Amino acid sequence: MLRSLPLMLLHELLVAPGHHVHQQVAMEIQQRADPSSLSVVARVLDGGFQSLTYTCSDDKTIAKWFGHILARIGTPEAVAMVSHYARSDNPGIAAEMQYRLERIHQQVAR
């Protein structure tokens, strides 16, 4: 179902409240690995996860969705975003992005 949607619509769904498929939308965005997704990822990470409380997941778990998107995009700008959010005031976001940054550096070292 989501594969047939334009990326722009997926971006809107990612930030829109009132539905329960945010994780699936994030996974589809991850699969597409399009740098145009960077701004919407920043929008979600900067705005917090209030609309995602229905998932019953903690912030670190939700941040993992976005860490995967950024790592999959893999551009210097995406890696810079991981580094930026590794210093987040939100401990869950910071912990996940620090982990993701370590994984990126490990892959580069191979």
What residue numbers bound the domain in which 101 lies? 2-109
Percent of the chain with pLDDT strictly greater than 70: 100
3-state DSSP percent of the chain in helix, strand and coil, to 5 = 80, 0, 20
Digit-coded pLDDT (tens) for 32-83: 999 999 999 999 999 999 999 999 999 999 999 999 999 999 999 999 999 9
pTM: 0.95
pLDDT of residue 17: 95
For 62, the token pair is 């939700």
30 and 22 in contact (C-beta within 8 Å)?
no
- Condensed to tens digits (0 to 9), the pLDDT of residues 12-24 reads 999 999 999 999 9
pLDDT above 90 (res 110): no
How many domains does one find in the chain? Answer: 1
- pLDDT reported for residue 83: 98
